[in-house]
Chains A and B, each alone.
Chain A
Amino acid sequence: MNDLVFGKYIPIDSEMHKLDPRAKLIGLFLMIGAVFVPKSWWVFLAIALCLAVALLMAKIGIRMIVQSFKPMIMMMIFLLVINSLTIRTGDILFTIGSFAIYKDAIFNTLFVIVRLLLMISITTLLTATTNPLDLTLGIEWLLKPLEAIRFPAHEVAMMVSIALRFIPTIIEETMRIMNAQKSRGVDFENGRLSEKISAILSLIVPLFSVAFERAYELADAMEARGYVPGAKRTRYHVLKFRFKDYLFIFICVVILAGSIASRFYL
């Protein structure tokens, strides 16, 4: 569980790390848009090349990106199976026994998979280069306009920030409970489905109980330190847009524009 790469912050010094989190968040949305629009493999290749440059600038190895794909492998296989069963158009590529696999099924799946992989890479790039606290400040800034319709932007950002802060603590707690249950004979790996469900329950119930206890204590600690939801607060981290942030957003806008243009010209 500690090997989880997706969403992990890598604290190193790089140009990508130094960008304003708001610029990176805006860039993320623009790039995800750019990934969704095109229908040409050449555009995907161009986006992948841009991403490779960003990864180089961020000093993040390709290995980490590949590792971040791991949790998605099962979903991709599932997608391939479903598409092979449901898409029955185009030429027959090959047959398995009497079952034919069509060209469209494979190509549509590959399209979706490439889009997914690019999206995961872009998101990993954002989370790996942005401190969780800065990320929540960026999210809060993006959600700020919604306060006009009484959306609790600050509270949501605070919740996200606390959730991110508690991920390692909860993982540690999960491992501790798993070991305690294993020592009492609970088998998490083997057995029938019903046994596995009961094993998982023996983990989830105490985990929830501990999480609630922690939440109550944390709420007391926050209240005791003068935190009042919705009240005015000053900020230790003050975000500032600089020239390079505007430049980064501009590059992302150009990529999105290029991607949209490719729909008409390629």
Chain B
Amino acid sequence: MDFVVAQILTGLSLSSILLLVALGLAIIYGVTGVINLAHGEFVMLGAYCAWLLQSQFGWSLLASLAVIFLLIAALGWLIELAVIRHLYDRPLDTILATWGLGVMTQQIVRLTAGGELRYVQMPPSLSGSVNILGATDSAYRLFVLAVALGLFLLTWCIYRYTSFGLKLRAITQNRAIASSFGINSARAYRLTFAYGAGIAGLAGALISPLKSVSPEMGTTYVVDAFMVVVLGGVQSLVGTLASSAVLGEASGLLAYYSNDTIAKALVLIAIVIIIRFRPQGLFAPRVRA
């Protein structure tokens, strides 16, 4: 029993990280149709911000979260303004441009912060562990899980219940028609991109105490996040939640049974097969094209 609970908790922790990382990508992709290959770099920048604020200014991680969200959101806003908005009707070029941006970001970090691994301290208040049904789990991991779910709910509520969300849904259906009804789709896209970037930054900051921080860390996360989005379906936030949960638990099990390299290869093969046979995702209903 303890073992099963522990396994489930491990999976949940992985799921929460996946959800955090994928949420931003899913929002951006779902609304604007842009596959942001620099998404991993937003995550990485969030982690570096956490490191910088902690090591240089002595901020606790919890205190810096809001600042990090705003910083990375502002960066996303700028990138949308400078690059992405020119490319909405050239989808192949967006993945190239965002890829290029990712390389630049990595390189800038390497040149300024150095290539070595960095570590971020866990907030002392959350460094203990909690007993759940006989299994122990780190309080911080549970905190991350709570934040991930909270952010998801917040995003979902914005999308469902605010007038901004309604506009977004209208734009997603048909940008031209939404624009003709006076919806400022350029502004909506920019805000969406900023919000998605901000959440990615937040994800990076939250992950930083759990993993080491390096300029290359984003690459892994963009693949994972993409996997979640592909599996969950492009325009379904609930699908993102479901696929994070499934993938987190599955990779927890997979890591238990096989080696890491093969697990990575299997994830990629799964992506390929899903794209080929169910491009709309596993959790999205079939609709007429």
A and B assemble together: no
Binding site for B on A (CB under 8 A): none
